[in-house]
Structure 1
Amino acid sequence: MKRLSLRARLTLIYGGLFLVAGLVLLAVTYVLVDQRTTQPVGMALRDAKPVVQGTEPKINGVPAEQLRVLVSRAQDDARDQTLYSLLTQGGIALLLVSVVAIAFGWLVAGRALQPLHQITGTARRIAGADVAGRGLHERISLSGPRDEVRELADTFDEMVERLDRSFDGQRRFVANASHELRTPLALNRSLIELAVTRPGASEDVRRLGELLLSVNERHERLIDGLLTLADSENELTARSRVDLAEVAAHVVDQAVRAGTGPVVDREDLAAAPVSGDPVLLERITTNLVENALRHNLPTGGWVGIRTGVVAGRSTLTVSNTGPVVPGYETAAIFEPFRRLAGERVGGGRGFGLGLSIVRAAARAHGGTVTARPRDGGGLDVTVELPPA
């Protein structure tokens, strides 16, 4: 059962209190009027003297008892009419004033809850940011008297400020650490290549150098992935019109020229224009295709890529064959350093950053990325972006 909004409940409370107070006031008025109108017959009737000794007292020729009855009946009729008018007209007036009071209470409740709406709107925009931490620069900055609502808004701003600093520090640390690690890795590569290519280098030295170069290359790819991930979570400063179909065709051509992995089907590349960073959009497509090729069947595998506009959104979908993927584990593959087994990656299968970069870059463009298991094994990974 859907509950009434806080504004409606406050309005009902205001209107109910006013109606109860009006009913109490009407009842008190009714009792007071009833007491004031219930008076004994006048002094003239009570002190009337008989005209002749032994006869019934008369006033202006009318027997006092009969006149007393007439006056009493007239008083009762007047009192009844007065009380009836008080109840009916007072009730109608109370009803009309209650309607006005409810309408006024609706306006007052809306005015009182306006700061809460401002707080809710800011919190909703922060929570709905396409990348975690991106909307933390917003503040409520509520003005007005320092009451309970103002203290709530100030406390919320303070919390968001601390979170904003924490996210910024984390992003700066990843970017700076990645940049700092590039230099020693490049130096190591140069020294190893120099040692391997020396004329007098033995076969053992050459094999060791090739192994060290492979390890160094792996570390360089990790650093490049971290840098790309950090850059993908930043705001896009420049946008241009890009067709996802052209990007997908270019990436597939590169995969075909590499000549490794399953066959890539690109028969369904319809126009899908978007506005964004061409480099990041190409990285999205490349990572999806490489991930589909890497996690595939050893023989007889297949990769399909298609683009188009679906429900007003430009979409890019990469499908592949492969092992059966439980639906509840698809969310984990978009986390950094995570794979379907839920452990930190190792070996030569990658670092688990490819799909994390895809998600960060898609969110930077105001889009989303989802993965859905395919019947018989493999995944359908779909990127949806706002159309240009």
Structure 2
Amino acid sequence: MKRLTIRARLTLVYGGLFLLAGVVLLAVTYVLVEQRMPGTVGVALNKTRLPESTAGRVISPNDAEQFRIFARQIQDEARDNALETLLTQGGIALAVVSAIAVAFGWLIAGRALQPLHQITGTARRIAGAGTAGHGLHERIALDGPRDEVKELADTFDLMLERLDQSFDGQRRFVANASHELRTPLALNRSLLELAVTRPGAPAELTQLGETLLAVNERHERLIDGLLTLADSEQQVVERTPIDLAEVVGHVAEQMRTELPVHRHLAPAPTAGDPVLLERLTQNLLENALRHNVPANGQVWVNTGTFDGWVTLVVANTGPVVPGYEVETMFQPFRRLRQERVGGGRGFGLGLSIVRAVAGTHGGSVRAEPRHGGGLVVTVLLPAEASLRAVPHHHAPPAVPTATLGPRPELPVGDPAPLAGPARTLR
């Protein structure tokens, strides 16, 4: 059962109390008038002395009694008419005034709750700005008297300020630590390369140097991923118009893989940081290629537009992904259980960077298991036209997967149709 809003409940309470007060006032008035009218008229009749003769005719006691009875009937009828008129006219007036009071109550309640709507709107924009603390720089800054609502807004602003400082400190720590670690890693790489390429180096030393170079390269890639994650969590200040389909085509052309990549690239104009958007696309494609089946594996890449948003959908064949583990894959350093056991080359930063880049551009990322194995990842970013018209403060819509491209129920080897040129990369 849907509950009434606070505004509706306040209006009902205000209108109910007003109606109750009006009914009580009308009832008290009715009782007072009813008690007052018979006494006044009755006393007037008792004090009235009828003449004993009129125009030479003597009035008998019987005629005088009949006159008093007739006067009393007129009195009772006048009293009943007056009380009935009081109830009818008073009831009508009370109903009209109550309706006006309810209307004013609705307006007054809306006016009183306006600061709460401002607080809710700010919280909704911050919640829709993505993860990693995006949008925490915004404040309510409520004006008005120092009342309970003003104290609530100020407390909320203080909480946002502390959260913003916490996230900024975390990002600065990751960036600074990553920068500090790159220097010794670069020095280690130079020394190892010098030792390996030195003339007359023993075979054991060469083998050990190559192993250490591979470990050093892995650490460098980890540091590079942390730097990218820290950079992608910063707010995008300058946005460059860019077609996401061109970015996908460029990244796909640079990749060399034995697996077929089916591309259905419809125009997807957006605006943002080209470097970050290229890294987003690269991470999605590398993730789809790396976590695939050894033989007969395939990847589908689609771009397009939907309801003022540009879409990028990447689907692949691969191992079955449990639905309850999909969300954990977007957390840093989190991978599937079998990959952690198998010691895969990934660090668990790819999808974290994808979500951070999408969030800082005002978009979102969602993933769902593909029927038969694999994953379908959908990225939504604001279209360029909608960014020029009005900034996006609302959350991206829930887009049906069938509308965007490769559906989870597609059989292996059957790319999903989508408007736009289709190409296959091998």
Instruction: Please report the TM-score for the alignment, with normalisation by the length of structure 1.
Output: 0.90
Residue 301 of structure 1, CA deviation = 2.0
Per-residue CA deviation, residues 175-233 of structure 1 (Å, 9 max, x unaligned), is 11111111111111122222222334221111111111111110110000001011111
SS in 1 for 2:304: strand
| Residue correspondence of structure 1 range 53-68 to structure 2 within 5 A | 63-68=63-68
Alpha-carbon spacing, 1:201–1:28, altered in 2? closer, same or farther (3 Å): same
1:193 maps to amino acid: E
Q: Counterpart in 2 of 1:196? A: 196
1:358 maps to which of 354, 361, 384: 354
2:269 maps to amino acid: P
Q: Percent sequence identity over matched residues?
A: 68
Q: Counterpart in 1 of 2:259? A: 262
2:279 maps to which of 280, 283, 286: 283
Q: Counterpart in 1 of 2:212? A: 212
Per-residue CA deviation, residues 154-189 of structure 1 (Å, 9 max, x unaligned), is 221221121111111111111111111111111111
Structure with larger RCO (C-alpha < 8 A, sep 6+): 2
Q: Tell me if 1:184 matches 2:180.
A: no
2:194 maps to amino acid: L
Q: Measure the CA separation in 2 of the matches of 1:13 and 1:368.
A: 42
Structure 1: runs of 5 or more not aligned: none
1:298 maps to amino acid: P
Residue 125 of structure 1, CA deviation = 1.3
Q: Tell me if 1:385 matches 2:381.
A: yes
Is the 1:332–1:338 contact (alpha carbons within 8 Å) kept by the matching residues of 2? yes
Per-residue CA deviation, residues 329-350 of structure 1 (Å, 9 max, x unaligned), is 2222211111122986883421
2:295 maps to amino acid: T
Q: Measure the CA separation in 2 of the matches of 1:44 and 1:320.
A: 105
Alpha-carbon spacing, 1:254–1:42, altered in 2? closer, same or farther (3 Å): closer
Alpha-carbon spacing, 1:58–1:162, altered in 2? closer, same or farther (3 Å): farther
Is the 2:134–2:359 contact (alpha carbons within 8 Å) kept by the matching residues of 1? no
Per-residue CA deviation, residues 268-319 of structure 1 (Å, 9 max, x unaligned), is 2332222222211211121112112211112222223232334543222222
Q: Counterpart in 1 of 2:418? A: none
Whose Rg is larger? 1
| Residue correspondence of structure 1 range 1-388 to structure 2 within 5 A | 1-39=1-39, 41-42=42-43, 45=46, 63-256=63-256, 260-266=257-263, 268-341=264-337, 347-388=343-384
Per-residue CA deviation, residues 332-381 of structure 1 (Å, 9 max, x unaligned), is 22111111229868834210111111111122222222223223222222
SS in 2 for 1:83: helix
Alpha-carbon spacing, 1:333–1:51, altered in 2? closer, same or farther (3 Å): closer
Alpha-carbon spacing, 1:373–1:45, altered in 2? closer, same or farther (3 Å): closer
Q: Measure the CA separation in 1 of the matches of 2:34 and 2:306.
A: 77
Alpha-carbon spacing, 1:346–1:225, altered in 2? closer, same or farther (3 Å): farther
Residue 33 of structure 1, CA deviation = 0.7
Alpha-carbon spacing, 1:45–1:229, altered in 2? closer, same or farther (3 Å): closer
Instruction: Please report the TM-score for the alignment, with normalisation by the length of structure 2.
Output: 0.82
Out of 272-281 and 344-353, give the one that drifted further.
344-353
Alpha-carbon spacing, 1:43–1:25, altered in 2? closer, same or farther (3 Å): closer
1:154 maps to amino acid: D
Q: Measure the CA separation in 2 of the matches of 1:122 and 1:317.
A: 30
RMSD value, Cα = 2.5
Q: Counterpart in 1 of 2:421? A: none
Out of 160-169 and 299-308, give the one that drifted further.
299-308
Q: Measure the CA separation in 1 of the matches of 2:12 and 2:338.
A: 53
Out of 187-196 and 167-176, give the one that drifted further.
187-196
1:38 maps to amino acid: P
2:380 maps to amino acid: E
Q: Measure the CA separation in 1 of the matches of 2:238 and 2:52.
A: 117
Q: Measure the CA separation in 2 of the matches of 1:47 and 1:187.
A: 126
Residue 86 of structure 1, CA deviation = 0.7
Is the 2:242–2:271 contact (alpha carbons within 8 Å) kept by the matching residues of 1? yes
Residue 249 of structure 1, CA deviation = 2.2
Is the 2:300–2:314 contact (alpha carbons within 8 Å) kept by the matching residues of 1? yes
1:157 maps to amino acid: D
SS in 1 for 2:302: strand
Q: Measure the CA separation in 2 of the matches of 1:177 and 1:94.
A: 74
Q: Measure the CA separation in 2 of the matches of 1:275 and 1:194.
A: 44
Structure 2: runs of 5 or more not aligned: 385-426
